[in-house]
Structure formats: structure tokens, C-alpha cells
Amino acid sequence: MGRTLSVGIIGAGAVAAARHAPGYERAPGAEILAVADANLDRAEALAKKHGVPIVYQDYRELLRRTDIDAVSICTPNALHAEHVLDAIQAGKHILCELPIALGLGECRELIQVARAQGVLLMPALAERFSAAHRQAREIVASGQIGRPLFFRASFASPPPPTGSDWRIDPATSGGGALIDLGLHALDLFRFHMGSVTTVLADTGTLAGEAPVEDAAVCVVHGDRARGCIEARWCGVGSARSVEMHGTAGGVLVEAGKPVHVCGAGTGWEPVPAPANEGPAGIVAHFVACCLQAAEPEVAAEEGTRALELVLAAYESARRGRPRQI
């Protein structure tokens, strides 16, 4: 029998419940040993649902356990840096929700400290590990759509509850829909189309009176491609869709649907899923890297670059002009 990776989850909110806890349950060689959350009722609820034996209100008690090898950090954005540093000092490997810190300098410092301590620090850029986006990337790389020219992403989710959610407090979130949803959409431009040279953004609060934006639009310039990215909490319904168009066709990725392609003069047609879908999600990849002492496909610096694009977009929106990267 192979070695088992014992994991602790710090933060028992929505992303821990939707991605991290189920991901560890499915990942070969992983077990969740403990959950910590300042809201003890929430920690107990997550632990009960997934059969986790130990619950803490203070995450530092979890980190002091010598039988925990790795942690997921799923706390509010402003707490990530402190929690990451404490986990590094405790010798735990880390899968951290984005951003790793709210400032670029702090992100870079944490990456250096993790490397010096021999700790894996992996950013949770989960969209890169979806089977659909991996398939779409292969289609683009194969030349099927010709030279990539244009990228369009639309990411939407229901608004956070007013007055009770840390995401609408700029001190704890760092922003609104742009940092919450747009970060991942901007990262997908880099994943599929290459580097970004310029960002032009506009943000606004269109519904209600939240102190952060509930809508953002970004126009991005790459070396030879352009893109338009929408991120919103306003309106109704959820959406995660990406279109890429090239000189010979296009590819469409929509959450929960097969990848579609089109050619010159043809409509959208579904593409069969590949027989080998690669890593079964970001959590399974993190577990495998920890167990095998392997480098992850997504280095910690990729998370910093994604944050750099978001911060550039916020600056562009404030100043009303493009921001070079």
C-alpha cells in the first residue's frame, strides 16, 4: 500500500465545500484529517459531511499537528498571506485559493520562503485543470482553428449576501467581481493565448450599494491576439464560458457542456471528450505532486501573474486609460 497524504483544510466556506473537500475525497492517496474555521459550526458541518474526525476553531492548532502533511487554504483573501506563511513555517505543503496575498511583493516573498523551506506552494488556478479547458488548449495548439486571434470570456455568479459575506468588504477581499471571477478569466487568456501586454478595464457597481464592483469588463492585448473579459455578480444566473477564434475556426468552452468547435462556414459542433482527460482536477494534481515530490504543472508564480493582471485592471479602471504590463 502506498503512502497516504494527510490533509487539513483551513477555512470551511463555499470553496472548501465545493472543491477542496470533495477533491480530496476523490484523490487517490489522500485523507482529510482535520478542518479549521473561525466559525466552529461551519467547520463542524463540513467535517461531518465528509467524515473528518478533527475540528478546530484556531487554524494554528491544526498546523501544530505533526501528522498533517499538507493544507488547503480557503479563507478570505486578506488572510491568505498570514495563513500561507504560518503553514510554510510549520512545514506543510500548501494549495492556496487565489490570490496568495493581496500584494505582488508579498506573493513573491512567500514563494521564496516556501522554496527555501522545501515546501510546495501551489496556487488554486482550478480552471486550468478542467478537462474542457485542457482539451480546448490542445485544439488551439494543434492548429485546428488557425492562428489564434480573439478570446472572449464571460464569468458570472450570483451576488454575495449583502452585509454577511467577506467578498463585499474591500478590506478582506481586495475587490469585487473582478478579483473573484475575473482573475480566473484573465488567467485563462494567458493559458490559451499567451502573454498579456496591455489591459484596459472598466468597473462599476450596477445593482445595490456594495462597496466593491459587481461588474467589470477588460479588454486585453496579447502579442498577436486580443480579448474581452466580462466578470459580474449582477444580473441573474451563473456563467462560465470562453470562446477563442482564429484564422480557420473557433473553439467554445461552456461549463457543464462538451467542448464545441466551428470551422469556416460551419456551425458549432461538439467534440468527443478525450479518452485520457489528464489530471482529475487541481486537488488530485496537488496530492500527486506532494506524494511524488514532483513539480506542479502550475508554479506559484502563475498565481502572482494572475494577480498582476487583476491589479493592472483595477489601476486602468481608476485612471481611465490602458495599463501596460
pLDDT digits (tens, 9 = 90+) for 236-261: 889 999 999 999 999 999 999 999 99
Residue ranges of domains in the chain, CATH in brackets: 5-124 (3.40.50.720), 127-278+307-324 (3.30.360.10)
Q: Predicted confidence band at 212 (pLDDT cuts at 50, 70, 90)?
A: very high
Give the pLDDT band of residue 23 (cuts 50, 70, 90). Answer: very high
The SS3 of residue 9 is strand
pLDDT for 209 beyond 90: no
Give pLDDT tens digits for 255-282. 999 999 999 888 999 999 875 544 469 9
Q: At 315, is the pLDDT very low, low, confident or very high (cuts 50, 70, 90)? A: very high
pLDDT in tens, 112-121: 999 999 999 9
- 255 near 241, Cβ under 8 Å? yes
Rounded CA separation 245/305 (Å) = 24
Neighbours of 231 (CB within 10 A): 30
Q: Is pLDDT above 90 for 164?
A: no
Strands 121-123 and 93-96: parallel
* pLDDT value of residue 275: 58
Residue 273 pLDDT: 84
> pLDDT digits over 72-108, tens only?
999 999 999 999 999 999 999 999 999 999 999 999 9
pTM (2 decimals)? 0.95
* Average pLDDT over every residue of 292-320: 98
- Model confidence at 59: pLDDT above 90: yes
Compute the radius of gyration of the chain from its Cα atoms. Answer: 20
pLDDT of residue 274: 73
Percent of the chain past pLDDT 70, that is, above it, reads 98
Predicted confidence at residue 280, as pLDDT, reads: 63
In Å, how far are 53, 87, 94, 100, 191 from 195, measured between CA atoms?
44, 31, 26, 21, 8
Among 21-25, 163-167, 303-307, whose mean pLDDT is lowest?
Answer: 163-167
Average pLDDT over residues 169-174: 96
What pLDDT does residue 161 have? Answer: 81
Q: What is the pLDDT of residues 114-161, one digit of tens each?
A: 999 999 999 999 999 999 999 999 999 999 999 999 999 999 999 888
Q: Locate cell 461549463: which residue?
A: 255
Residue 217: strand pairing partners: 202, 230
Give the cell for residue 251. Answer: 473553439
Q: Across residues 12-29, what is the average pLDDT?
A: 96
Residue type, 147: R
pLDDT of residue 24: 97
pLDDT at 176 over 70: yes
Give pLDDT, residue 191.
97
Q: Which three cell numbers stand for residue 159?
A: 451576488
Confidence of residue 162 (pLDDT cuts 50, 70, 90): confident
